[in-house]
Every structure is written in C-alpha cells, then in structure tokens.
Structure 1
Amino acid sequence: MEMASFSGFLRTLGIIVIFYYLFKFAVRLFAPILMQKAVNKMQDKMQEQYRQQQEQQYNASQATKATPKPKKEVGEYIDYEEVK
C-alpha cells in the first residue's frame, strides 16, 4: 500500500487552485458575451411573438369586416297577393 506524499498533495492542490482561477478568468471574459447573445435571442423571440399577435388581430378584424353577418332565417318567404 502506497502512502500519499506531502509534495503530491501540494502539487494537486496547486493544480486545483490554478484551474479555479483560470475558470474564474474565463467566466469573466465570456459571460458578458453569452449573456448578450441570450438577451438578443429573447428579444428576437418577443418581437416575433408580438408580430404574430398583431397579424392575428389584423386578420381577425379583416375577417369580421369582409364577411357580412348572416341574416336570421325565419322560414320561407311567401309573396301574398291581395284578393278583393
């Protein structure tokens, strides 16, 4: 059975600390870029939804204007003549 050496422990600890600071630096560098892309993507989605909603409202208003309301059909129309 091998025992862990103190120098090996320090080396591992040093590597962990170096990777931690490299990760921290990379996040500070790339996080604003990623956040800006996410915000732009959400803004595009919201604009598309708004555009679709406006088109639906316009189409609905056009459909109600284009088709006249159907008249109520009470029954057959019979033309009577007066008899004297």
Structure 2
Amino acid sequence: MIQEASAMGLLRTILIILLVWFGLKILARLFAPLLMRFVAKKAEEKFGQRFGGFQNQNGQRQQQQRKEGETVIDKIPNQNRKSNEKVGEYIDYEELN
C-alpha cells in the first residue's frame, strides 16, 4: 500500500519543526546564563585549587599575605650542573665569494 504525501502533512511537519526550533531557542536563552555561571564557578574553583590560596577547615579560602612588589621563588634550581668540556672540535672557516 503506497501512501502519497499531502500538502497538509507537509505543512504540519514544517510547523512542528519550526515550533521545536523556536522552543529550543527560547529555552537556550533562559538556561544559557545559568549554565555559563555554573561552568565559570567550577573553573574558578579548579583555578583556585591549583594557583590560589589555601582552604581552611570551613572551606573558606585564605590567601597568603605578601607585601606588594615582593619576589617569591618557589623552586630553587639545581646547583649540580656539570659543563661538558668535550663538546666538539672547533673548525675555523672562511667565506668564499
């Protein structure tokens, strides 16, 4: 049994697609700011855990007290560097024109 597409069926399908499209746009405008706020808050927490201050027992952050302009060195470089005297042979050359 073969069914033919009718004009009313086509219009109804297009109308349903448009309603779904506009419904999704309206929902996106409502929920996008909430979603962005949530994502920004999570990123701020992760950044704070890595680079920010410490957290006390109540979960509040405490920043280290530093004077303005103070230089802080977190890692002291290894002082046991050995220079390799036998790097290679020096070859003197002249440019040819």
TM-score normalised by structure 1 residue count: 0.60
1: CA distance between counterparts of 2:7 and 2:14? 10
Q: Which ranges of structure 2 fall in alignment gaps of 5 or more residues?
A: 54-73, 77-97
State the match for 1:67 in structure 2.
none
Structure 2 Cα separation of the partners of residues 23 and 7 of structure 1? 24
Q: Decide which structure has the larger Cα Rg and report it.
A: 1
Counterpart Cα distance in 1 of 2:52 and 2:4 = 68
Give the % identical residues.
33
Gaps of 5+ in 1: 62-84
Match of 2:79 in 1: none
Residue type matched to 1:12 in 2?
T
Shift of residue 51, structure 1, vs aligned partner: 4.3
Cα-Cα RMSD: 1.8
How many positions carry a matched residue from both structures? 55
- The 3-state SS of whatever aligns with 1:39 is helix
Where in structure 2 are the equivalents of 1:23-38 lying within 5 Å? Answer: 23-38=24-39
Aligned to 1:3: 4
Q: 1:20 is matched with which residue? A: 21
Deviation at 1:50, TM superposition (A): 1.3
Q: Does 1:40 align with 2:41?
A: yes
Q: Distance in 2 between matches of 1:2 and 1:12?
A: 16
Which of structure 1's runs of 4+ aligned residues deviate more than 4 A?
A: none
Q: Which has the higher contact order (CA 8 A, sep 6+)?
A: 2
Q: 2: distance between equivalents of 1:21 and 1:13? A: 12
